[in-house]
Copies of this chain bind each other. A is one copy, B any other.
Amino acid sequence: MHFAFSSEQLMAAEVTTQLLQAHCTPALLRQLLARDAAREDSRWQALSEMGLMGVLIPTDAGGLGLNETDFVLLAEAGGYAALPEPLVEHAGVAAPLLAQVQPGHPLLTAMASGTSTLAIGHPINPFVADADTATALLLVHGDTLHLVRRDQTHITRQPSIDPFRRLYQVDWRASDCTRLDGAGPSDALLDQALNRGALFAAAQCLGLAQRSVHLAVAYARERQQFGKPIGSYQAIKHLLATAQVKIEFARPVVYAAAAELATHAPHAAMRVSHAKLAACEAAELATRTAIQVHGAMGYSWEADVHFFLKRSLALHAAWGSPAFHRGRIAHHIDGQPLGPDHTFYNGTGHV
């Protein structure tokens, strides 16, 4: 029992955070919007060169062959930066799904290097994110999985309040040529993909929440009213402290979910749902608190905090609505032993 990341994992997260601190500033986000560009290629390349695209791709296919525990902090860093590019959907969800179905699929190598992007159309989500910049799309038809080239689809943009969300309705035709035959029933594979999607959405929400608190703290230290920084008022302090408490008790749930998903613990799905709920709540509270602390400025386009609010809003019902995830929790509570010896998988039941 050791509930902590390895120094390698922490180092990778730190390097990613630093890279994004330099290459994914709010000023750069605004430039991207001004250019109306789908993504910042240099940033994508920098992330790819770090190996991030291949974390969950087997080493045989040019990836790092690691697991969800290795990816979760990277997704969190992406949230902290409000990263526009589809790091999470491509490398965190689409890649491991394709690798599970066809571990030797030739696309995986190009995916690991970041030269090809794979989008995923999971039945839980009505739209496909970043379909426009994808080389190919993983799509579902009935109970079969399909790999479809971008030019085999017709896509329609569905603009979101989050200007960096690139959602598309995808029209396409399933055929024997597009069908992916591989190991296991698609139901189980899609459940696992859903869990990864929800887990990494939760991780992003943690990052969004923490960044929002940090932005608000920075503002509250500077902004003066009634002759002192607003951050010296107890009302502001307590708002931010309350948001931080929410974050602190969402974080271990997200990390445990990553570890349990990686080890196929039987209750991993329950934990993922708990993580998604807790992290979404933390992001909701923290982003709203940050806007409140910024006052009128927080309600303006000028302050950066709205980028985080909008992403939080978008992720709220992505990869399963709160009602869906609450349903999975209720199912666990109704059917599983609950005592303190059952917090982890090999609790007393397995002594």
A contact set with B: CB distance below 8 Å: 233-235, 238
Contact = CB atoms under 8 A, between A and B. Distances in A.
A234 to B, nearest CB: 4
Contacts of A233: 234
A49 to B, nearest CB: 49
A134 B283 CA distance: 57
A234 B228 CA distance: 15
A345 to B, nearest CB: 36
A235 B237 CA distance: 9
Contacts of A235: 234-235, 238
A292 to B, nearest CB: 13
Contacts of A234: 233-235, 238
Contacts of A238: 234-235, 238
A320 to B, nearest CB: 26
A235 B233 CA distance: 9
A11 B233 CA distance: 42
A233 B235 CA distance: 9
Nearest to A239: B238
A326 to B, nearest CB: 19
A137 B93 CA distance: 69
7 contacts: A233-B234, A234-B234, A234-B235, A234-B238, A235-B235, A235-B238, A238-B238
Nearest to A234: B234
Nearest to A238: B235
A5 B234 CA distance: 39
A42 to B, nearest CB: 46
A238 B241 CA distance: 15
A216 B216 CA distance: 32
A266 B115 CA distance: 69
A281 to B, nearest CB: 20
A84 B307 CA distance: 57
A289 to B, nearest CB: 14
Nearest to A236: B234
A234 B233 CA distance: 7
Nearest to A235: B234
A225 to B, nearest CB: 13
A234 B241 CA distance: 14
